[in-house]
Amino acid sequence: MSALLRLDVSCPFFDNRAVAPKFAIPMNTNRWLRRAALAALIFSLFSRIACAGIADMEDLEDFDPADVDLTPIAGPFEFPSSMALLPDGSVLISERAGRLRLATPEATIHDIGGLPTILAIHHAGLIDIALDPDFAKNRLVYFSYSHGTELSSTIRVSRAVLDRRTFRLRRSRVIFESTPATGVEHLGGRMVVTADGYLFLTLGDRQERDRAQNLGDTSGSIIRIRTDGSVPPDNPFADSPSALSEIWSFGHRNPQGLALDPETGELWSHEHGALGGDEFNRIVRGTNYGWPIVTYGVEYSGDTIGEGVEREGLESPLHYWTPSDVAPSGLAVDTSGNSKHFWLGTLVGQSLVRLEWQNDRIVRETRLLKSKLGRIRDVRIGVDGHLYLAVDHPEAALYRVNLTQLNRLLEVHPRKRSAEETAPQ
Ligand SMILES: [Ca+2]
């Protein structure tokens, strides 16, 4: 069928046009996808009614997704944990339960075989997926996941060749394994692979906070290895006999976002605090980020943690969130505009967040889509310049947003507010 269902939302499906023709959904799209688009339409119409008026620029309740082509492009996915955007417009999606799936530009979904045995329980499972910088030639992918049992588990990173013809991973091998721990909380597991062949991986403290200050333990650290699994000799603790040579930075609680700056090569990360104290950090070689000695969070009982909020020699966050209504997840660096922006999802906050970077600091935080899509698990920017969102849901859609339009729309708000404040009475 080639008929089009006319709706008040756009649904361009993976094409690379900067501005898609609005409101057309091919009827040969599967029924679930049409339902997701209809839900977006209903929300869009509701938001036009309920969200009139000027919201605080920090929390944009009047944001209308229809203005930026917020579009469900594929699904459903069962609790997606991450995604990797392929050069041909396909998307690899990891599902927490231990399934890897490939959504084609035509929105056809294939299961990818050949994953290793994965410990999938509670928050544990398949976590992140990343492409080799030479993926177009070598088809290498990297994936992080929980391994072992609930009583003793590790985070592993494996790499394998993605065979697009048979939809299988081949020649899979483990290139990293963390220090084991009991329980399956505070796992971290986010990866970045750099163009010059390094792999960074975040590791949570596994709910044993003192381990984050122990350099003989990978818990609560960000590690750096070569993509073949070897440890680079210039790692900060490579010559220290009491430290694990993979460790790049430490004193982290539970980092669920890691991204590389395409302009500067800097590494950025955020992490969950306890009650309050979620942080945004620039990750620097050999640095101690303080957990659990210093934090802006407190115990869930309200008691203080450690020594306070800062101490000389321990890196303070560039931005932090207190109270704990955020829980950041997924991170993308946007260098398309005049200012650098960081995009992240939030789990507790159920929002999309933009942090604006100017003069070496975060100057503005903007929250949007609150409670509209649900818990946002992962945020990526594709080679097409669009923003992709994965939500934490048993029947999740993968969404795409026109980032150019979104940035343009958000730029209006501070000026508009400023103009109103300074207008003559
Ligand atoms: Ca910290």
Pairwise CA distance, residues 324 & 208, whole Å: 20
Cα-to-centroid distance, 310 and ligand 1 (Å): 9
Pairwise CA distance, residues 406 & 196, whole Å: 32
Residue 55 backbone phi and psi in degrees, to 5 = -85, 165
Which listed residue (147, 186, 252, 272) is catalytic? Answer: 186
β-strands 319-321, 328-334 pairing: unpaired
Cα-to-centroid distance, 215 and ligand 1 (Å): 16
CA dihedral 271, 273, 278, 283 (to 10 degrees): -40
Pairwise CA distance, residues 393 & 361, whole Å: 34
Burial of 121 (0-12, 13-18, 19+ CB in 10 A): middle
Q: What beta strand segments (E) does 2-125 contain?
A: 4-6, 24-26, 59-60, 71-77, 80-85, 91-95, 99-103, 109-112
Cα-to-centroid distance, 69 and ligand 1 (Å): 36
Cα-to-centroid distance, 19 and ligand 1 (Å): 41
How big, in percent rounded to 5, are the helix, strand and coil portions of the chain? 10, 40, 50
Pairwise CA distance, residues 289 & 124, whole Å: 24
Given a contact cutoff of 8 angstroms between Cβ atoms, the answer to whether 92 and 83 are in contact is: yes
Catalytic site residue 186? yes
Pairwise CA distance, residues 332 & 5, whole Å: 33
Distances in Å between the Cα of 309 and the Cα atoms of 4, 277, 301 are 57, 9, 18
End-to-end CA distance of the chain: 58
Return the pLDDT at 141: 98
Cα-to-centroid distance, 10 and ligand 1 (Å): 41
Cα-to-centroid distance, 317 and ligand 1 (Å): 6
Q: What beta strand segments (E) does 194-254 contain?
A: 198-203, 221-226, 247-250
Selection from 4, 32, 1 nearest residue 398 by Cα:
32
Per-residue confidence of the chain (425 residues) as pLDDT tens digits? 233 222 222 222 222 222 222 323 344 556 666 666 655 544 443 333 222 122 233 677 767 777 778 999 999 999 999 999 999 999 999 999 999 999 999 989 999 999 999 999 998 999 999 999 999 999 999 999 999 999 999 999 999 999 999 999 999 999 999 999 999 999 999 999 999 999 999 999 999 999 999 999 999 999 999 999 999 999 999 999 999 999 999 999 999 999 999 999 999 999 999 999 999 999 999 999 999 999 999 999 999 999 999 999 999 999 999 887 899 999 999 999 889 999 999 999 999 999 999 999 999 999 999 998 999 999 999 989 999 999 999 999 999 999 998 998 888 755 554 555 555 54
Selection from 229, 227, 207, 228 nearest residue 219 by Cα:
207
Pairwise CA distance, residues 155 & 219, whole Å: 10
Report which residue type is found at 81: S
Q: How many CB atoms lie within 10 A of CB 25?
A: 24
Selection from 410, 371, 414, 364 nearest residue 387 by Cα:
410
